Amino acid sequence: MTIRLGTRRSALATAQATWVADRLRQLGHDVELTPITTFGDTSSRPLSEIGGTGVFATGIRLALHRGEIDVAVHSLKDLPVIPEPGLHIAAIPVREDPRDALVARDGLTLGELPSGSVVGTGSPRRAAQLAALGLGLQVRSIRGNVGTRLGLVADGTCDAIVLARAGLARLGQLDVVTEVLDPLQMLSAPGQGALAVEVRADDQAMVSAVAVLDDDDTRASVNAERAVLAALEAGCTAPIGVLAEVSEGDAGQTELWIRAFVGAEDGSASLRRSTSGPTSRAHALGEQLAAQLLEDGADQITALHDGPRPGDPPTEPPGAGARNRPPAASTPASPAKPTRPDQPAPERAQ
């Protein structure tokens, strides 16, 4: 039997799918890639306008539902937190480094960029955290594949751009990185750097074939991160950063440490909170951290309800499944500092 593995057509998506395919081949399976074009790939509008959450996954999921493919590979951060009926994430393989990376002119780091420098990103989360740093940077909204975005620095349109380090690593382009951003400066998107390998829930042969790729620590981390997102009722375009990491606790036991950021996109207000606990309570810890954020005013800082919600009007063609909710009113709250000690300083690329 040949496993038909569905993926978006972009270079990054293909690289991710090929990574999964190669591991399935090592287990003795025949695998062929099936490229699929999604609504998110064909639209040039900002993600915050077309729904954000799910716009890259919907077309692939439809192909999986229809039986046109057997396995789908997604960037986990692109998936809605609400499970898709009839489908099952059978594996979340070991995660790439989830941090964000700066690509700047002249090899500059974030702190070396002069005030007024133009930094490109398509992410409200990154824009909010850049503004909160108070460096006087001008954030420009950009879209396009990795090559297109890198070109904006090369041609002088932007002084720098911020991308996920994981994507550059999978494309073999880490040499362009001028700084890997410390989570104290920039918390990543929930699920960033992780892949979701999805199958039909009733296809037990595929569930069994794929499940061996699952990594327990990665699954616990991203489950906690996505629990924060779900409890805040936010979509992937909301200015929210969450990072969960499995580490050794004070008593030598394994624990999960979760940090979260919620901020106004203009940098006028922000919250940073953290919590920790056993990995077995990953989902509950995420909900606990979200409750703390809400108690401290997260819902007053920014419009959290920006993702697709049941009953919202469609922003894709009929059957595509994307939803979008208008932003709610917001009022600023007081900034807060992380509750854990400082971590190592930002890493400069070699």
Active site positions, annotated: 78
Q: How far is CA 169 from CA 17, 25, 44, 177, 221, in A?
A: 14, 22, 25, 10, 20
User: What is the side-by-side order of every strand in the sheet holding 71-75?
Assistant: 30-36, 2-8, 71-75, 195-200, 87-91
The length of the chain in residues reads 350
Q: How far is CA 313 from CA 182, 302, 320, 344, in A?
A: 38, 22, 12, 45
- Check if the beta carbon of residue 159 is closer than 8 Å to that of residue 118: yes
**How many CA atoms does the CB half-sphere of 347 hold within 13 Å?**
15
Burial of residue 301, with CB atoms counted within 10 A of its CB: 0-12 exposed, 13-18 middle, 19 or more buried: buried
Residues 6+ apart with CB under 8 A from 316: 39, 50, 51, 55, 58, 322
Alpha helices in 27-155 (DSSP H): 39-42, 47-50, 58-65, 124-132, 146-154
Kindly report the backbone phi and psi dihedral angles of residue 241, in degrees, each rounded to the nearest multiple of 5, phi listed first: -120, 135
d(CA 26, CA 287): 38
Alpha helices in 172-327 (DSSP H): 204-211, 216-231, 282-295, 298-301
| 281 bridge partner residues | none
